[in-house]
Amino acid sequence: MRRPYGRNRRALRSRRLAPYAFVLPFVVLFLGFSVYPLVYTFRLSFTSWSGSGAARWVGWDNYTYLLTNAGFWSSLANSAVLWLLIVPAQLVVALLAAVLLNNAKLRMRGFYRTTALVPFVTPLVAMAQVWIVVFDTEYGAVNGALNLFGLPDVDWLTSTTWAKPTLALLFVWKTTGFAVVILLSGLQSIPASVYEAAELDGASRTRQLVSITVPLVRRVIMFLVVMQTLAVFQMFAEPFVVTDGGPYGSTTTAGLFLYNHISRSDLGTGAANSFLLVVLVMALSLLFVRLLRERE
């Protein structure tokens, strides 16, 4: 006995709508918690608003103020210097660590992989407090170790020369475990036969790293570059807790400069600042992706 035509039609319609029903919760959450706040913030960037009362439309004044503000450009320069101190060094360290952990002959690999993630899962504020104690000029362990070798104390957190490298070291210590795990996943996708063929051809470990490993995980490396670029230009907790943007504004990052507007209830300027950062990070990300495609 044949099924009624109407029932077959309803069943067909249900099968067609089922994928959209599964995707609908994500779409609703994405529109409500991502798209709407983004559109609202963009509109807010053209107003002057302190968080209460009616917002006053000011047009492009917030953007003009930021683009002519020395503090804004100084914060971008500080973030750029931190990027140079963090990203290249972290990629080298993370890649070497991932290659070592990918070696099947290494004993206790599971233990080392877990250990690499410990700093990443440790609360940042707790680590920042430890950093303050360890790098204290008078009582810090680092200066104590220097004194054992007859070296003078260094103002790690109170000098414009050493404050940025100290913050960069904290960031590298905190996030390198994440980079190692991502690179390790990329390394495990490389067939072992590729390295076996290279060994038969007489390629050394260094040559295999340069000619095989790096090219085959190039996309993973580029992903990390983009992610860490976003993280560095959003860096807030590290300078806020450790140096409070000092000394003399040398560690006031783009993220901390944005927070200063919000803490003063200057929400319109803060919204404009956030959009300028979005445009900058997007431009840098597109540049990195373009460089990757050109090399491929």
State the chain's mean pLDDT as an integer: 88
CA-CA distance, 227 to 87, in Å (whole number)?
Answer: 10
Residue 136: is its pLDDT beyond 60? yes
Taking residue 166's Cβ as centre, other Cβ atoms within 10 Å add up to 22
Q: Is 115 exposed, middle or buried (0-12, 13-18, 19+ CB in 10 A)?
A: exposed
Per-residue pLDDT reduced to its tens digit, 218-268: 889 989 999 999 999 999 999 999 999 989 899 999 999 999 988 888 899
Per-residue pLDDT reduced to its tens digit, 110-121: 788 788 888 888
Q: Please state the rounded mean pLDDT for residues 114-133.
A: 89
Each domain of the chain, given as residue ranges in start order, spans 5-40, 70-295
Per-residue pLDDT reduced to its tens digit, 65-80: 999 999 999 999 999 9
pLDDT given at position 1: 47
pTM of the model as a whole: 0.87
Homologous superfamily (CATH) of 70-295 is MetI-like (1.10.3720.10)
Residue 131: is its pLDDT beyond 70? yes
pLDDT given at position 84: 95
> 187: closest CA among 223, 224, 212?
212
